[in-house]
Amino acid sequence: MMERSRAHALGLLGTLVLILFWAGLSFAEPHSSSVQERITFAFVRTLHDALPQSFHQVKVQNAASCGYLGDVFFAPGAISVEANEPERGLAAGDDLDELDNYEGQDASQVYDPFEGWNRFWFRFNDKFYLYVADPIYRGWQAVTPHQLRTGLKNFFHNILFPVRFVNNLLQFKLKAAGVEFGRFMMNTMCSAGFADPASTKKTIVPMDSAGEDFGQTLGYWGIGHGPYLVWPFIGPSSFRETLGRIGDLFAEPLFYVQPWWAASAGSLTLRFNDLDEVLPLYQDLTGAALDPYIAMREAYINYRNLHAQQ
C-alpha cells in the first residue's frame, strides 16, 4: 500500500516536472518554437528509425502555429512519416540507401555512341541559339507586350492538352488525367485557353510539372533511352525521346489542321514563343560548364529520367 502511493507520488511529480519543463521552454524564449519542433521532430525520428524501410520522408506541413503561452500546435496530420517506395526514392536508383553515395559510380551512364555527330550538331545549335534564336527572341520581346506572350503560351499549353491526357491514361494515372481534363475545361471555357486560372487550384494528386508525354510513357513502360542524340535546331534527345516526340504528334490538334503549312507555321510560332523558358536555362547550364556538351547531355537525361519516374 505504502509503496503504491509512493509510486503514485513519484509518477505525479515526474509528470509535473515534465509539464513545467515543457512550459518553461515556451516561456524561456517567445519564439522558441524550433526547440519544441525539434523535440517533436526527434520523436518523429525515433518513430521513423523504427520503421523497417531504408528510407522515409519526414514531412512537417504548414509550419506550426503558436497558441497560448507560445505553445506549438501542429494541425492534425501536419507531421507525417512517409516511407518511400524503393523504386521511387530519389532521382536515380543509386541514391536509395544513402543521401551520400557518390562514390563508385561510373563517370556517365549515358550511352552515347554517336558522340561525334552529336557534338557537331551541339556546336551548330549552340551558335544557332546564340546568334539567331536569341537575337530574334529579343526582337520579339521588344515588339510584343508580355501579356500577349503569356497568353500565347497558355493557349499553346492548353491545346496540347490531348497529349498530356492520353499519356496520363497510358500510364494509368487516372486522377492526373482527370486533373488535366478539369484544367482544360476550366481554361477553355473561361478564356479559350489564353488564361490559366486553373493553375492556382489545388490538385487531388501531385502533378508532374512538365506534363506527361509519350517519351515519359515509354520510360514508364520500362523502355530505356537508347543512344543519346542531338538533332539540329531541336537539340538534345534520344532514340526513345525521338520516338516519343513522333508519337505525341498524333495527339496534337495542330497535326490535323489543314493546310499543313499554316499549321506548321502556327506550331512554329507557338514553339518560338516558348523559347524564353529554355534559352536562359540553356545559357546558365552551358555558360558554367567546362564541357557544355557533357553538361547538357547529363542534365537532359537526368531531367527526362526524373519526369519519367514522376
Residues that bind other proteins (CB under 8 A): 3-4, 7-8, 10-11, 14-15, 17-18, 21, 34-35, 38-39, 41-43, 45, 48-49, 54-61, 63, 90-91, 97-100, 102-105, 107-108, 199-200, 209, 284, 287-291, 294-295, 297-299, 302-303, 306
CA atoms of 162 and 193, how far apart (whole Å): 13
DSSP string, 89-150: SSSSGGGSS-S---TT--S-----TTHHHHHHHHHHHHHHIIIIIHHHHHHHHHHS-HHHHH
Cβ proximity to other proteins: between 25 and 249 the closer is 25
Cβ proximity to other proteins: between 209 and 258 the closer is 209
Instruction: Give the nearest distance from C-beta 261 to other proteins in angstroms.
Output: 33
Cβ proximity to other proteins: between 50 and 258 the closer is 50
DSSP state of 284: H
Beta-carbon neighbour count of residue 230 at 10 Å? 25
Instruction: Give the nearest distance from C-beta 22 to other proteins in angstroms.
Output: 9
Instruction: Give the nearest distance from C-beta 257 to other proteins in angstroms.
Output: 30
Cα torsion 203, 209, 212, 213 to 10°: value is 160
Cβ proximity to other proteins: between 65 and 105 the closer is 105
Instruction: Give the nearest distance from C-beta 203 to other proteins in angstroms.
Output: 13
Instruction: Give the nearest distance from C-beta 52 to other proteins in angstroms.
Output: 11
Instruction: Give the nearest distance from C-beta 105 to other proteins in angstroms.
Output: 7
Q: Which three cell numbers stand for residue 293?
A: 556538351
Crossing angle for the helix pair 292-309 and 279-287, to the nearest 10 degrees = 130
Cβ proximity to other proteins: between 1 and 143 the closer is 1
Coil/strand/helix, residue 71: coil
CA atoms within 13 A on the CB side of 124: 13
CA atoms of 287 and 54, how far apart (whole Å): 38
Instruction: Give the nearest distance from C-beta 267 to other proteins in angstroms.
Output: 24
CA atoms of 58 and 96, how far apart (whole Å): 16
Cβ proximity to other proteins: between 263 and 306 the closer is 306
Residues 6+ apart with CB under 8 A from 1: none
Cβ proximity to other proteins: between 206 and 253 the closer is 206
